[in-house]
Amino acid sequence: MDSYDLQWRYMENFVKYIHWAKEQSLADYRVCIVGKSPFARPSGVLQLKQARLMLVAYENKLPDESEISLCHLAYLSKGLEHDLYFFILNELKKWPVLTVSDREQFIQQGGLMQFITVDNKLRFIINGHEAKRKGIIISPALLRLSEKGAG
């Protein structure tokens, strides 16, 4: 199983440990992939035990504000061009969207969850302070699993 398959499995399970303060039904848990998707998953709907996971890919177009505001989780791919990446990341800061990436320095740049490799194992870092500011409540159990998060 490659790193992106594992990242996908992590994200599928995050819904169990995260609560969005804005009243969105978890019956429609929306994952938005911004940039070229590294995941071997087609866009569409997957049924999880608790919710339907709706995967929406924005590979060839920039999502507008109304589309971004519907996302629960936005994955920013490594392939995004530098200026576009920073533009989208700054736009996402306005909304209670869990931003996730495996780009270097993602947490320091304001992202909420960054996948990293430690001793050849996939781990993640959580920026709990920024998540709380955005109205995203991350369970203490998930925070404890974070490699070295900001709270």
Residue 22, C-beta contacts closer than 8 angstroms, at least 6 positions apart: 96, 135
- Quick check: is 151 in a domain? no
Decide if 150 is inside a domain: no
Give the model confidence (pLDDT) of 6-33 as tens digits.
898 888 888 788 888 765 555 677 888 8
| CATH value at residue 117 | 3.40.50
Rounded Cα–Cα distance for residues 14 and 8 (Å) = 10
Q: Domain range holding 25?
A: 3-145
CA triple 13-121-44, angle to 5 deg: 35
What does pTM read for this prediction?
Answer: 0.86
Asked if the structure places residue 51 within a domain, the reply is yes
Count how many domains the chain has. Answer: 1
Is residue 68 domain-resident? yes
pLDDT in tens, 103-150: 999 999 999 999 999 999 999 999 999 999 999 999 999 999 998 755
- pLDDT tens for 63-110 read 787 888 788 889 999 988 898 899 999 989 888 999 999 999 999 999
